[in-house]
Amino acid sequence: MDHLTHRPRRLRRDGVRSLVSEVDLSASDLIAPVFVDATTDDRQPIPSMPGHERVPVDEAVARVEEIRETGVEAVIVFGIPESKDARGSRAWAEDGVVQRAVRTITDETDAYVITDVCMCEYTDHGHCGVVEDEAADDPTLTVENDETLDLLSKTAVSHAEAGADMVAPSSMTDGMVGAIREGLDGAGYSDVPIMSYAAKYESEFYGPFRDAADGAPAFGDRRHYQMDPANAREAMREVELDVEQGADVLMVKPALPYLDVVSAVRREFDHPVAAYNVSGEYAMLHAAAEKGWLDLEAVAHESLLSIKRAGADLILTYFAEDVADRL
């Protein structure tokens, strides 16, 4: 076999294998979601997301401190309000659930605090903005785009006023980044960056999250504003628009089924790229592990490594604590 001059296995021996590894994970790559619930006084386990809980506002600091102990530096806060209405007015309330939680987290911890900016947890219909008058019966676009922009801007500003380090609009409303950037700058928060859910697909992988955040639509679906899973080129147009409007970080959601999109965004744009390893991705690995079909620790690490390899600089994941604790 003298002709075998190229032997890739030479670099797979113990000792050298780790030296030539192209990608690795660190705790600083990971962002941990935190669910804060204004309707409860006790921690509430989320059945479809093993190991995760909704926590009351007065437990938000303790929850974030648990995350920080694993080495994870950043959290993204989602809120479940005490009441809902058609416009989602608790989303921007000074005494809203996210605003109260963020004040205490930023005052009492050194975590980097990101807030999700959307309306679905706050509207009584579960959609991500103001809906058309006949949306429940015969929707054409479901959410009134331009009317929703002002509400998103007010919500983002209220989060910044509470102390959020970064805001993350997730509604897939046309013009949301520009409206929020204008609102933040006008309120004196020009240094608060925007992580846009720039390419967010209408996905069935969100199911457990909707249980966790109590944000499932009361009617219809989100096909009129979230992207068609069949489309990759459209994602590039969506991302480019957000870049033009001032997005600082570009997110793809979900992650694992859309690694081609993550990779394409990484190649085309010189911005930090985030990917959201969503609740369904987390839950399906847990379900398989409970059956004894997969090693949960190994597949969780491999999944996150694949997202990083595809080009993500930041990974929002429900595995953040478990993986970081073992790195």
Is 302 annotated in some ligand binding site? no
Q: Is 134 annotated as a binding residue?
A: no
309 is in an annotated binding site: no
- Choose the catalytic residue: 84, 154, 253, 308: 253
Q: Is 275:312 a contact under the CB 8 Å cutoff? A: yes
Count the residues in the chain.
327
Beta bridge partners of residue 199, listed in sequence order: 252
> What is the helix (H) or strand (E) element at residue 166, kind and residue range?
strand 166-169
- The terminus-to-terminus CA distance of the chain in angstroms comes to 40
Q: Is 181 annotated to bind ligand?
A: no
Q: According to the annotation, is 210 in a ligand binding site? A: yes
Q: Which of 247, 203, 206 is nearest to 225 (CA)?
A: 203
Secondary structure element (H or E) that encloses residue 241, with its range: helix 233-245
120 is in an annotated binding site: yes
Q: Is 291 a catalytic residue?
A: no
CB 251 within 8 A of CB 198: yes
Rounded to an integer, what distance in angstroms lies between the CA atom of residue 11 and that of residue 220?
53
CA gap 169, 115 in Å, rounded: 8
The answer on whether 128 is annotated among ligand-binding residues is: yes
| Separation CA 278–CA 205 (nearest Å) | 7
Q: Which residue has the tokens 């054409």?
A: 140
Q: Are 36 and 60 in contact (CB under 8 A)?
A: yes
H or E stretch at 303: helix 296-310
Which among 84, 154, 200, 308 is annotated as catalytic?
A: 200
CB atoms within 10 A of CB 297: 13
279 is in an annotated binding site: yes
Summarize the annotated binding site for Zn(2+) as residue ranges. 118, 120, 128
Summarize the annotated binding site for 5-aminolevulinate as residue ranges. 210, 222, 279, 318
Active site (catalytic) residues? 200, 253
Summarize the annotated binding site as residue ranges. 118, 120, 128, 210, 222, 238, 279, 318
Summarize the annotated binding site for Mg(2+) as residue ranges. 238
